[in-house]
Amino acid sequence: MTPQLWVFAGPNGAGKSTLARRYACGRIEVVSPDDIAREIARGRGGDPSVAARAGRLAIERRQALRDAHQSFGIETTLAGCSERAFMAETRDHGFKVNLVFVGIGSIIQSRSRVAERVKRGGHPVPAADLERRFARSMAHLPDAMRIAQLSLVFDNSGKRCRLILSRENDHTKLVSRSLPHGARAAIPVALRQSPAEETLDDAYGDAGSQSDPFDGGPPER
């Protein structure tokens, strides 16, 4: 069976961790620097070295899983270049690469959701980092889609998380009639249209509906 890499991506506060837990829990291991940092930070307060160490451990773990040809997932904002390079390298290692991108409407929404998360005991993110990651996450989405064999793009700016675009093997399979402005601006026409394009009703695109957009997705461990 072909091993798979599932990349759960999106700006801070978009809800990628929630989506990863909903669909990947019990199926594959998802390597998250934030989760690793929480484990390390227990009893250590605001030690600034925690994030750096968690990042190194996450890189080591995902490389070990790839070397073992074991299906796994990662969480990323896609703000840097290393994640896209890792996606391409993993594809060259014989993996099927799947991108699950969760977007939100604005940087204001990103700030608000991170602030709410902090109130519930989550980790804070500096304002400058939020702005930088939000812009770069959207800017790097097209390249990540070109690398992935399967791309699922969600909009989580409203009350429910909607699947707004599905693309597999260079063909757009589904696209929402109400594609948000941010997604329309970030995703080139060539990546959201194809001869086989179909239109997706919003109700069908509800990530919380009975239709599982990951059907046939992450294999059981």
pLDDT score of 204? 43
pLDDT at residue 210 above 80? no
pLDDT score of 194? 61
pLDDT score of 25? 82
CA 120 to chain centre: 22
pLDDT at residue 208 above 50? no
Judge residue 192's burial from the number of C-beta atoms within 10 Å of its C-beta, 0-12 exposed, 13-18 middle, 19 or more buried: buried
What percent of the chain lies above the pLDDT cut of 70? 84
Dump pLDDT digits (tens) for 153-194.
999 999 899 999 999 999 999 999 888 999 999 999 999 876
Which amino acid is present at 49? S
Kindly give the pairing relationship between strand 96-103 and strand 4-9.
parallel
Which residue in this structure is represented by tokens 């707004």? 164
| 85 to 23, 24, 170, 172: CA distances (angstroms) | 25, 23, 19, 23
Question: Strand, helix or coil at 188?
Answer: coil
Kindly give the pairing relationship between strand 4-9 and strand 29-31.
unpaired
pLDDT band at 2 (very low <50, low <70, confident <90, very high): very high
**Structural domains present in the chain:** 4-200 (3.40.50.300)
Summarize the confidence of residues 63-75 as an average pLDDT. Answer: 97
pLDDT score of 200? 53
Question: Strand, helix or coil at 44?
Answer: coil
- Cβ–Cβ under 8 Å, residues 114 and 125: yes
pLDDT score of 7? 97
- Cβ–Cβ under 8 Å, residues 6 and 24: yes
Query: Which pTM does this prediction carry?
Result: 0.86
Least confident of 39-43, 63-67, 129-133, 183-187: 39-43
Let me know how long the chain is: 221
